Amino acid sequence: MCGIIGFAGKSTRLSTLLDSLRKLEYRGSDSAGVAYINSSNQLISAKTVGTTEKLMDLLPDKADAGVTAAIGHSRWATHGEPSKKNAHPHLDCSRNLAVVHNGIIENFEDLRDRLLKRSHVFLSSTDSEVIAHLIEESYNGDLIDAVKRASGELEGAYAIAAVHKDHPGVVVVARKGSPLVIAHDGSRGLASSDVTPIISYTREVIYLEDGDIACLNAEGISILTTSGEPVDRPVSHIDWDEQAAEKSGYDHFMLKEIFEQPQALRNTIAGRIRDSKIVLAELSSIEQHIQKAESVKIVACGTSYHAGLVFKRFLEENAGVSAEIDVASEFRYRKNVCDANSVIVAISQSGETADTLEFLRKNRKNCSASIAVTNTVGSTITREVDTSLFLNAGPEIGVAATKTYTAQLLLLYMLAIRIAQTRGLSEEKAKDHARTLSGIPAIVEKALVSADRETRIIAELFRNTRDFLFIGRGYSYPTALEGALKLKEISYVNASAVQAGELKHGHIALLDESFPVFAVAPSDFTKVKMASNIMEVKSRCAPVVLLTDDNASFEDQLSVIKAPFVSEWLYPIIAAPYLQLFAYHMAVLRELDPDRPRNLAKSVTVE
């Protein structure tokens, strides 16, 4: 998730702009850049790989004085690896204007082809660079009009800020789908992806709406709608302090990231479902191998492994191909696991997990193709595989994987459907699935509202428990595993998970009135069997928490949470936020910091 910033007015200081840009780095930062108009009305730009820290050294002496307008960008790579050429700002061919962008331009390939035919020269592999060239094409002396016309050609999500050397003291911004907040502190117009950098200057801000274009300068700000009509947007007063603002008002990054899931899922889908068809262009180079594959080998650790378990089941059901999964720390030591007819799918949000990388290094050459599913462009895993699929979920700061898990599930469903299509899944069925997947972000969004309240009530009941056993069947067994992992890693409750059918084979001996069971039991084909497992648990006097769905008719003397009803294969993605929130509330009620669980690291780069 990138961050953009813009300051307009003679009191602009580059050092202040860079300070403010630094405050956006928590959103993720692999490279950074600025562009500004100096006192001689020249456009100067500088960019670097790494954090904002390095930028000041790159700027000419005395750059701080005489700046009239400046824009900055903190990048988290989605299209193109982290590099100086891919860092923002992007300039047009005349080098008169510079643009920073947050979001994903879905039709950038079409736009770039068109612009190339008209002799524009591209210097980066980003989707964003098309915006600078589009504004250049539309520019006839009126920067606002040029930004407006260029925005009209963009599909996808954007928050843009632009400066032009012929418009000293002016920053023009536009937004659709990506957040953008603007303000005026009396002498400067300010724009930013979120309020964090702004609140040290003013607490009165305006959240732009989709389609809005705004012009900022020392005198004030003016806003136009898509159709060019002037419009007033309400001014909001911010009463958070800076630290809280970094978390957008949430108490913890984990909670913020749980609530970011609808947007993260939308970003994962963006550009990949067109006319009800799933498009994963990244697979084109290995399509033949996928078609001929006799088996798929899935490798991952922790939460990514749980996503892999769901993928295996869905893939086998839809693609008729055998799929094998193991945790990387075991898989890498097994012999003869891959052959020329197998395809590897390696799942790792960080792309840096040592065991997963070692599995790839050992086995990649023995299989016909390898695919990484990761959130991190430029990570090591992308260099160890034939092709990579990126989650585009934005950075995850909390150690517990939350939004990256649901984004993994969504992308893996898409991958499974594409694999199935090469092996005979009908177009109608594939379209059906694609339409269903398109609706998932909205279902998660709706569910989150009540999920937060309901899971907190249950957490209050169980805040002092020492143990929890999670049970599930079918698609809900990986969900049970994930629920137990979340709970143990941030609340230190002794939580484990077992297939519900295994209860009687030993685990039930643990149960008594002080040992609760968390049953993941949607109204799918497992319902009847789960109901009898729950009876077995209750007859040992163990308290039961039941996570089910709106269609279920389980007895109501249990602690019941009902998620929206969805097809059984999709239940893992709908159930996950409930389990994340339950673990979160348990941790907070136990006075633990969910963002920094003891003994754990976000990336496990050692074996």
Binding site for ligand M6R (CB under 6 A): 301-304, 348-350, 353, 356, 399-401, 485, 489, 603-604
Name the residue among 110, 137, 109 with its Cα closest to residue 125.
109
CA distances from 323 to 296, 298, 393, 585 (A): 5, 7, 26, 36
Contact 547, 521 (CB under 8 A): yes
- Output the six-digit token pair for 156: 């996808």
For helices 302-319 and 476-491, angle between their N-to-C axes, nearest 10 degrees: 170
| Residue 45 or 349 having the CB closest to ligand M6R | 349
| Residue 263 or 353 having the CB closest to ligand M6R | 353
CB of 581 vs ligand M6R, minimal distance in Å: 14
How far does the chain reach from its first CA to its final CA, in angstroms? Answer: 29
- Output the six-digit token pair for 492: 């230190």
Query: How many other CB atoms are found less than 10 A from the CB of residue 61?
Result: 6
Contact 115, 129 (CB under 8 A): no
Taking phi over 0 as left and psi of -120 to 50 as alpha, with beta for the rest, 279 belongs to beta
**Rg (the chain; Cα; Å):** 25
Select which of 85, 292, 488, 602 is catalytic: 602
How far is residue 575's CA from residue 582's CA, in Å, rounded to a whole number? 11
Contact 354, 605 (CB under 8 A): yes
| Residue 52 or 374 having the CB closest to ligand M6R | 374
CB of 604 vs ligand M6R, minimal distance in Å: 5
Name the residue among 571, 495, 503, 520 with its Cα closest to residue 313.
571
How far is residue 258's CA from residue 397's CA, in Å, rounded to a whole number? 11
Helix, strand, coil % over all residues of the chain, rounded to 5: 40, 20, 40
| Residue 353 or 406 having the CB closest to ligand M6R | 353
Q: Which residue type sits at 166?
A: D
Question: Cβ neighbours of residue 64 under 8 Å, at least 6 residues apart?
Answer: 13, 14, 15
Q: Is 93 a catalytic residue?
A: no
| Residue 515 or 578 having the CB closest to ligand M6R | 578
CB of 387 vs ligand M6R, minimal distance in Å: 18
| Residue 384 or 489 having the CB closest to ligand M6R | 489
CB of 455 vs ligand M6R, minimal distance in Å: 17
| Residue 356 or 548 having the CB closest to ligand M6R | 356
| Residue 12 or 349 having the CB closest to ligand M6R | 349
| Residue 356 or 392 having the CB closest to ligand M6R | 356
CB of 356 vs ligand M6R, minimal distance in Å: 6
CB of 598 vs ligand M6R, minimal distance in Å: 13
| DSSP one-letter string for 22-48 | HTTGGG--SEEEEEEE-TT--EEEEEE
CB of 328 vs ligand M6R, minimal distance in Å: 8
**Residue whose pair of structure tokens reads 């990579």 in the numeric block:** 388
Burial letters 200-218, b for 16+ CB under 10 A, else e = ebbeebbbbeebbbbbbbb
How far is residue 26's CA from residue 119's CA, in Å, rounded to a whole number? 38
Q: Is 54 a catalytic residue?
A: no
| Residue 307 or 521 having the CB closest to ligand M6R | 307
DSSP 464: T
CB of 544 vs ligand M6R, minimal distance in Å: 25
| Residue 356 or 479 having the CB closest to ligand M6R | 356
Select which of 2, 215, 301, 338 is catalytic: 2
CB of 323 vs ligand M6R, minimal distance in Å: 19
How far is residue 107's CA from residue 102's CA, in Å, rounded to a whole number? 15
Closest CB to ligand M6R: residue number: 302
How far is residue 121's CA from residue 136's CA, in Å, rounded to a whole number? 12
Name the residue among 168, 171, 406, 445 with its Cα closest to residue 307.
406
3-state secondary structure of 61: coil
Taking phi over 0 as left and psi of -120 to 50 as alpha, with beta for the rest, 202 belongs to beta
3-state secondary structure of 219: coil
CB of 343 vs ligand M6R, minimal distance in Å: 19
CB of 352 vs ligand M6R, minimal distance in Å: 7
Active site residues: 2, 602
